[in-house]
Amino acid sequence: MSAGYGPLYFHRNKATGITADNVQLIVDVSDTTTYPHDATGGVALYALKFRVKGTAGSAGDATLQIGVVEEADATDGTFAIIAESDLIAYNEEYESAWIEFPDGIDLRIVSGALTLARAPVSGNHTILQTDAGDVVDSERATNKSAGAGDLIVLLDEGTNGGTYEYEAMAVWREL
């Protein structure tokens, strides 16, 4: 039986000239006005594809991660990592194929954890803290804070000194 209901939604995030950790919302589950869904319970992921490239700065390296926020507070936050690129440095590029989940992956969060899927959990990221407003909301061209259940894409710069571009595409429906 497939997870979720209603139409399939497609969302694309793109960023260029990134020189530090960067996170963008793919789906804000609590925002039913800007994002095309009615329920706030979570999303089911059906497919994703992503690409990251080191465009300048020979000293830096980074990875691109896609995941769902499990918890966030005024100090930091964690997320379950669904997909991750190889480590990318200057003049290197990683592009995934379409990763498909025919029955959908239920990404609902209850008590700070995925309930119907298992995924590695990130370390604590201060960029996810709720009082910082560091998450780029590409739908509204503004920054906000992430909340539990939000589907995100994170460029995690491991070694400072690089410049990156990335894009992430996801197909989902609401739960």
Mean pLDDT score across all residues of the chain? 86
Tokens 């690089």 belong to: 162
Number of domains in the chain: 1
Cα(5)–Cα(32) distance, rounded to whole angstroms? 15
- What is the model's pLDDT at position 140? 64
- What is the model's pLDDT at position 139? 65
Q: Is the pLDDT of residue 173 over 70?
A: yes
Cα(106)–Cα(120) distance, rounded to whole angstroms? 15
If one compares 154 and 1, the residue with the highest pLDDT of the two is: 154
Q: How buried is residue 100: exposed, middle or buried, by Cβ count under 10 Å (0-12/13-18/19+)?
A: exposed
Supply the CATH number for residue 153's domain: 2.60.120
If one compares 59 and 52, the residue with the highest pLDDT of the two is: 52
Q: Quick check: 14 and 173 in contact, CB under 8 A?
A: no
Q: Is the pLDDT of residue 71 over 70?
A: yes
pTM over 0.85: yes
User: In which domain, by residue range, is 13 found?
Assistant: 5-174
Cα(35)–Cα(28) distance, rounded to whole angstroms? 7
Give, for 10, the enclosing helix (H) or strand (E): strand 5-18
pLDDT in tens, 87-146: 999 899 999 999 999 999 888 888 888 887 778 788 788 888 887 677 877 666 778 788
Q: How confident is the model at residue 2 (pLDDT cuts 50, 70, 90)?
A: low
